[in-house]
Each structure stands twice: as structure tokens, then as C-alpha cells.
Structure 1
Amino acid sequence: MHIPTEMLHGSVCSVSAALAIAGIALAAHAARKSPQQPGVLRFAAVSALIFVAQMLNFPVAGGTSGHLLGGVLAAALLGVPFGVLAIALVLGVQALLFADGGLAALGANVLVMALLGAGAGGMLNRWLQQRGLSQHMALLLAAWLSVLLAAAMCSFLLALGGVADWSSVLPAMLGVHARIGAGEALLTALLVPLFAGKRSEAGNWQALLPVLGGVLVALLLSPLASSQPDGLEWVAQQYGFLRESAPLFVSPLADYNVAALGESFWSTVLAGLAGVLAVAVAGGVLAWPLHRRRMWIAA
């Protein structure tokens, strides 16, 4: 659901960027005060997992595809504030290195996928569990609703800029993303127990191995991702607002390929590996000053 720059009016980009900056600042403050602080390496590893998982577009009905947004997943594994920061970090790397979403639209994408997807979705998951819902049911419901909430906000931004009519784009976006959200819900409910680990195990390197294994598996599967248009692209095609424009700069790994290798299996894998390393390094740099105690691994 990465919104490209050409789909947004300039003023919408500015307003959403301001909201995104405020939201990230609030998340960073909350992360600094949070009693649940993942270790630096765990934050970096989970952020890398989210990045590579977003490369895996899966087919859905109607000739469309979707990918994991990962908001509720990140919030469940890292805590809500760190989950917001992880998704924002991934979006920043995607815009800078892969031309995915575009720099001018980065604020809008952070607003849609990080602040709403991870922030609101993560808080909803926590609230549902506090109300007695089982972990699996809470994850399923929160992950599905987080995708619909993100789709609704995306529709609002498109309508606000006059790109699409609200009464048309909202039902279309909710319809296609209800199906994508089902995949998000199933993946989230599957991956959280797999990668969460136990707190008693969190102080050793073995606690990171499942996450790192997931990164490796997803990286090798990334060239097999569906080439069908994602939900937003499909809606844009249907309603005639899918546009292309010259990028502000040439991204070195545009479209998740190494230019010198063309579109091939190893081109995608190497581009993904570069993204994983970039996210992991940036994640470590981001997480280190946010910890009250300088924890490398502990959850």
C-alpha cells in the first residue's frame, strides 16, 4: 500500500509529513519511557524481518496482490512505540534505496502504515487481549482491522488531494484490502508466536535465531513474489488515477533489483540483502539511544 508521490497533492504531502514527524517524535518519547524495551539487536532483526516480508507479494482474488504491512506484527514483537519506529524505518529505507513510495509521499506512508498500522493496530491488539480475547483471536482481528484502517486513511488522503472521489475510492479500497487483510491476519497470528520467544530466553543470542531464520527464508522467497498489481495500484487502474512521473533522484536499487543484473533471481535477492543490511544497521543506530539501559539482545 505504498502511496507513490504522483498520487498525492503537494499540500497533502506537506500536512501528512508534519503529522508523521509529530507521530514519530511521540513514538520515540514513548519508546524511551516504555517498560517493554527490545534489545538493540532484536529491534534491528525484527525491522529487517518486516522489510523482507514486505517484498513478498501474495496473490489475492481478482488479479491483485498484497503484502504484509506488518504493523501489528511489529507492535506485538517489539511493543507499540518501537513497532511504530520499526515500520517508519522500513518505509524510509524503501523510499531512499528502492524508490518504493517516494520521498515526498514518505510522510503519508508513515501516517498510513506506521502510525495507524502499527500504532493504532498495536494498541487495538493490546486492548482486545486486555478484554479477555485470546492472543490468536486478538492478533487476527487487530491485524485485519489495521489494514482496513490504513486503506481508509489512504482513501482519505487521495480524496483530500482531489485525486479520487471519496465515495468511489473508499468502497473500492476497503473491498480489495479486506481480502489482503485476511492474509495479513493469518500471517500475523502465525508469525507472532513463532518469533516472540519467551522473556526467560530473551537474554541470549539463541533468542534471535528464529527471527534471523525468517529473514533468510523470506529473502530467498522474494524473487517468487506475485507480479500482480497491489491493492492500491489495482484501484488506481480501475479509477484512472494511476500515474507515473520522473523520480526526484535515481534510486540505486529501484524496483528491488540491482540494475547491473537486470530482473533476475539473484538481482532481487542481492537487492533484498542490501535492504536487510541497511535496515538492520539503521535500526541499531535508531534503537541504541532510546534505551534507558544499553541492552543488545534482551526483550
Structure 2
Amino acid sequence: MWWQSLLDHWILALHIPDGFLHAPVALLWWVPTVIMIGLALRAVQQSAAERTVPLMSVLAAAIFAAQMLNFPIVGGTSGHLLGGVLAAIVLGPWAGMVVMTCVIVLQAIVFQDGGIVAMGANIFNMGIATAAIGGWIARPLLVQDHAFTTNRLRIALVATATGWLSVMVAAVLTSAQLVLSDLPAGIVFPAMLGVHALIGIGEGVLTAAALLALVTARPDILQPGDTPTPMRTQLLTAGVFIAALLAVLAPLASPDPDGLERVAEDVGFLDRALDAPYQIMPDYTVPLLGETPLSTIVSGLIGVIITVGIVWGIAVMLRARRPSRS
């Protein structure tokens, strides 16, 4: 059945499974990842505004759901939104890193999407590096005189370019980690960068479209100053609804293998992947419902709810521990 093909190809994406990387390489990558997560949590704790809590929750849920929607690329390959640039443009680099970390950790622990040992590399590649590009390259280009630009052409160009760049940087980092794990650089780098150059176009277009939609519907979100409480409630409600809608549409995603899986098949290291030591909702399915579209939808909706709860809890805790200022 078509949905079984989809589920068979979902697990890799740019999420590195355990086994692809040698253990020392995977463990070593935890060091910069933990350092950056610690800095991000501290920065959010010190500077987060009231509206940061619902914004972080909404974006995390939307990015989680959007990553379930693979879009087709030429040559029988698919890609999906990473979302790091989008999160960092809206929230800033540090909050963007926290959001992406929560999404990637949830995907690995609950849905077995990416390895546990390799999670440090996955967080760094897809979360920290992409949010850094969004927060420290894209955001400064879009903020003029302490206000977010209203020039839609500028938004489209910057978002598209940095969205593409974020995918390429993630692909370069993944390729380097694979090469350090004894795969041939002359094959891995051209294969990974070639396919992800095309996937990056989709990332850029989706990032630009999301930002333009946000500027049109709720321009106040991107401007300095806090959002009134009723508007924050409306924002959270609308955002969760959009994320849930994306999860419902997940069975319509492209069944083609994603970039890393395609390269693993072509280069011949797919068999290095190790099965997860446990299963909760593997491959975005609910075990009691089997490998069906309904199972995918239900698992996606559960993921949206968990994501909102986790990110909301972390954001509230950080704000509660924020030192008082005289």
C-alpha cells in the first residue's frame, strides 16, 4: 500500500540513525551541542518576554508537524522543512535553538526518528547550526532600526537564501561526520550536497512563504514590544490549529526517500543503521492502529500536543527562574 511505502522511507530524513556514525564521533558531537544548549537556555532565561512562551510553543508544534510533510524532489527523492531559520528569525537565535532541540529530542525519543547516541549530532546539524544562520545572518538583514522590515521582496529574498544555506550547512556537517566515520569523502560530499542543494530550495521557499504569511496576518508578532494576553491566547490557539492541520495532512506527504536515505542507498551504507532499542510510536505510527494513514495522523496530533506541552513548560520554567531586576 502507498502509506506503507511512505512509512518505510520516513525514518531517516536528515536525522542520522545510530550506526551511521562511529561511537567516538557521535559522542564527541555531544560536547559542542551541550555547550550551545546551555548557552541558549541561559540566554532565553535572561531575556525572554511574555510573548516568547506561546511563540516558542506554537513554532515548535508547527515545525514538528511540518517536518512530517515531505515534498518531492527530482530523481525520486524528497525533502522536508527543517525550520531552524524560521524559528530563529521569529524568536531570535537562542530561543530558536531551544525550540529546535525540543523538536529533535522528541522525534528521537518518542518516534525513533534519528538515533539516541547520534542525537547530539542531529541537534547540532539541524537545530543549532540552522538557528544560528537564521538568528545571526537572516534576522539582522530583516531588522532595520529595531523594527522588522515590511519590505516583502526583502523578506522573500533573505528567507529563501538563508533557508537554502541552512540546509547546505546541515548537509556539510552531516557529510563531515560520515567521513569521520570512515565513509569516502569523494563520494559522500558530492552526493549529499547535490541532493540537498535541491532540497534547500524547498526549505527556502517554505521559509519565505511562512514569513510572508506571518507578516500579512500578524505583523505585530515580529515587532518589538509585548503582545497583550488575549492576543497571545489567540496566537496559541491559531498556531496549534495550524500544526494539527499539518499533522492531519501528513499521509499526503511524498513517499520518496529523503536526502540522507537516498545517499545511504546509493553509496551503500544503509545497512549500518541500527534498530532502536525500544519502540513507542516508531516511524510516526501508533502500534494499536498499525501502519495506516489514521495511525500517522493520530501520532502526529499526539506529537503536536507533546511538543506544545514540553516547550511551554521549559519556557515558563526559564521565565520563573529569571533573576529579578531592580
What TM-score, normalized to structure 1?
Answer: 0.91
Query: Is 1:168 equivalent to 2:187 in the alignment?
Result: yes
What are the Cα deviations for residues 144-164 of structure 1, in whole angstroms up to 9, with x where unaligned?
A: 1000000000000000111x2
Equivalent in 11, 33, 43 of residue 20 of structure 1: 33
Equivalent in 50, 55, 67 of residue 68 of structure 2: 55
Q: Which residue of structure 2 lines up, in the alignment, with residue 119 of structure 1?
A: 132
What are the Cα deviations for residues 48-71 of structure 1, in whole angstroms up to 9, with x where unaligned?
A: 111011001111001000010011
Letter of the structure 2 residue corresponding to residue 202 of structure 1: T
Distance 1:180 1:7 in 2: 21
Distance 1:234 1:250 in 2: 25
Q: Which residue of structure 1 lines up, in the alignment, with residue 117 of structure 2?
A: 104
Q: What are the ranges of 5 or more consecutive residues in structure 2 without an aligned counterpart?
A: 1-13
Q: Which residue of structure 2 lines up, in the alignment, with residue 273 of structure 1?
A: 301
Distance 1:245 1:150 in 2: 19
Shift of 1:213: 3.1
Shift in CA distance, 258/56, structure 1 to aligned 2, threshold 3 Å: same
Shift of 1:201: 8.5
Shift in CA distance, 17/78, structure 1 to aligned 2, threshold 3 Å: same
Q: Which residue of structure 2 lines up, in the alignment, with residue 255 of structure 1?
A: 283
Distance 2:50 2:126 in 1: 21
Shift in CA distance, 286/145, structure 1 to aligned 2, threshold 3 Å: same
The alignment of Structure 1 onto Structure 2 pairs a total of residues equal to 293
Query: Is 1:29 equivalent to 2:38 in the alignment?
Result: no
Letter of the structure 1 residue corresponding to residue 260 of structure 2: L
What secondary structure is seen at the aligned counterpart in 2 of 1:62? coil
What secondary structure is seen at the aligned counterpart in 1 of 2:29? helix
Percent identity over the alignment is 39
What secondary structure is seen at the aligned counterpart in 2 of 1:233? helix
Q: Which residue of structure 1 lines up, in the alignment, with residue 202 of structure 2?
A: 183
Q: Cα RMSD over matched residues?
A: 2.1
Distance 2:269 2:309 in 1: 37
Equivalent in 8, 22, 47 of residue 9 of structure 1: 22
Q: Which residue of structure 2 lines up, in the alignment, with residue 297 of structure 1?
A: none
Shift in CA distance, 179/37, structure 1 to aligned 2, threshold 3 Å: farther
Q: Which residue of structure 2 lines up, in the alignment, with residue 44 of structure 1?
A: 57
Shift of 1:37: 6.4
Distance 1:19 1:293 in 2: 24
Query: Is 1:65 equivalent to 2:78 in the alignment?
Result: yes
Shift of 1:245: 4.9
Q: Which residue of structure 2 lines up, in the alignment, with residue 214 of structure 1?
A: 242
Q: Which residue of structure 2 lines up, in the alignment, with residue 202 of structure 1?
A: 227
Distance 1:76 1:293 in 2: 25
What secondary structure is seen at the aligned counterpart in 2 of 1:65? strand
Equivalent in 231, 255, 258 of residue 230 of structure 1: 258
Shift in CA distance, 150/24, structure 1 to aligned 2, threshold 3 Å: same
What secondary structure is seen at the aligned counterpart in 1 of 2:78? strand
Distance 1:211 1:13 in 2: 34
What secondary structure is seen at the aligned counterpart in 2 of 1:8? coil
Moved more, 132-141 or 52-61: 132-141
Q: Which residue of structure 2 lines up, in the alignment, with residue 129 of structure 1?
A: 142
Query: Is 1:156 equivalent to 2:181 in the alignment?
Result: no
Tell whether the 8 Å contact from 1:36 to 1:79 is kept in structure 2 after alignment: no
Tell whether the 8 Å contact from 1:201 to 1:207 is kept in structure 2 after alignment: no
Tell whether the 8 Å contact from 1:194 to 1:210 is kept in structure 2 after alignment: no
Shift of 1:281: 1.0
Letter of the structure 1 residue corresponding to residue 291 of structure 2: E
Distance 1:8 1:21 in 2: 18
Letter of the structure 1 residue corresponding to residue 155 of structure 2: Q
Distance 1:170 1:128 in 2: 30
Query: Is 1:192 equivalent to 2:211 in the alignment?
Result: yes
Distance 2:143 2:185 in 1: 35
Shift in CA distance, 108/38, structure 1 to aligned 2, threshold 3 Å: farther
Distance 1:171 1:127 in 2: 31
Equivalent in 56, 59, 79 of residue 92 of structure 2: 79
Letter of the structure 2 residue corresponding to residue 234 of structure 1: R
Shift in CA distance, 33/134, structure 1 to aligned 2, threshold 3 Å: farther
What secondary structure is seen at the aligned counterpart in 2 of 1:59? strand
Tell whether the 8 Å contact from 2:83 to 2:207 is kept in structure 1 after alignment: yes
What TM-score, normalized to structure 2?
Answer: 0.84
